[in-house]
Amino acid sequence: MKKLVLILVLGILSASHVKAQDVFDQVVANAKAVIDDPRADPFILAVSQFKFSALQYICTTAIKQNGGSVRGDFLDKQAYSLNHFIVSYFSDLAKAQKQSATAQKDIMTRYWKASAENPMFYNQDPEKTNAYINAPDCITPFSLNTNWEKADQAISKK
């Protein structure tokens, strides 16, 4: 439970008090700092690795598909939405901790579906984009190829 509270706090702090054009850079920098910390909590490390991978995937793929450029506000919206999606996911799981395993599995499935049903790009490499989905015991079982703004909206509607 402490780890869930800690991830929620870190998630909120990683996108707060930041100018709009700096959201992407701040979320990536915070994730990278955790990844580079040899004393990082394994739970926080796993979440940070996912955030870093997802945002790097979106940035590099968008640059490739747009001839070398990508709008900063696009990346900021994706980073903010990814962060909110992850915080909401762990918050919902924390609230469901005393519920049945089926209820917890339903939450995981709902978030996984929101990620899978809102792809960002038409990608030819599902092995790469589904690496976190296919990893056993992954705490962030989501596709890297997700439009996080749409996925977050899908979750928020329910």
20 band by pLDDT with thresholds 50, 70 and 90: very low
Mean pLDDT of 126-147: 93
**Residue with the larger pLDDT of the pair 77 and 136:** 77
Mean pLDDT of 60-74: 89
State which residues form the domain around 91. 2-157
Q: What is the pLDDT of residues 75-110, one digit of tens each?
A: 999 999 999 999 999 999 999 999 999 999 999 999
- Find the Cα–Cα–Cα–Cα dihedral 52, 141, 6, 73, rounded to 10°: 40
Share of the chain above pLDDT 90, in %: 73
Structure tokens at 104: 């917890």
Please give the tally of structural domains in the chain: 1
Biggest CA pair distance of the chain: 49
Share the mean pLDDT of the chain: 88
Inform me whether the pLDDT recorded for 4 exceeds 70. no
Inform me whether the pLDDT recorded for 16 exceeds 90. no
Residue of 150, 1, 128, 34 whose CA lies nearest to 82 = 150
Inform me whether the pLDDT recorded for 17 exceeds 50. no
Inform me whether the pLDDT recorded for 13 exceeds 50. no
Classify the C-alpha dihedral 56-25-3-95 as positive or negative: negative
